[in-house]
Copies of this chain bind each other. A is one copy, B any other.
């Protein structure tokens, strides 16, 4: 319950992003015009430009909001008495069909990030932040300091991010994963987390 008063002119950017997300994902980064997006947000083009002067600004804002949400999730994991179990549950929850709707957006952002350096930068920052947040959990579980954990578990953290993203894109493309693929993905995640859990600094 934050004590910060609501701003006089409420920041509608979150609401606007939510309303254009689907159309951005469906038409693609190049396919969706600013006109299309303003229409999806129920705004005039002029007013829409006041919030988002470019598609780049939209992608950056989307990454920013997603990251804020992810940081909230990690804060809860850190507070948990069983952080590894809690992390595992959160990762697997990302594989729910409902969550997988972001796979289309990720595919668009990935393709655009490769073509456009500024978008690539926003996507890279997002990935690096998630890797660092994962390392903070691993630091706590293994009794290491965060920087040591970041170096030691870089590969595992990058693998987890890559798997979650790959599954989201795959689900958007082909529909829900087969139970057999799901078992393989779970086995890899469980193996990674178990290896880290037993890799404590005190041996």
A-side residues, CB < 8 A to B, are 26-31, 103-104, 107-108, 110-115, 120, 123-124, 127, 154-156, 158-159, 162-163, 165-167, 169-170, 172-174, 177-185, 188, 191-192
Contacts and interface: CB of A to CB of B under 8 A. Distances in A.
Specify how many copies of this chain sit in the oligomer. 2
Given A158-B177, A158-B180, A31 B165 contact: no
A31 B172 CA distance: 22
Contact of A120 (B124, B173, B184, B192): B173
Interface of A is mostly: helix
A27 B173 CA distance: 21
Contacts of A166: 162-163, 165-166
A107 B114 contact: yes
Nearest to A174: B124
A181 to B, nearest CB: 4
B124 A169 contact: no
B184 A28 contact: no
21 contacts: A26-B115, A27-B115, A28-B29, A29-B111, A30-B30, A104-B111, A104-B114, A104-B115, A110-B111, A111-B111, A120-B173, A123-B173, A154-B181, A155-B179, A155-B181, A155-B182, A158-B181, A159-B181, A159-B188, A162-B166, A162-B170
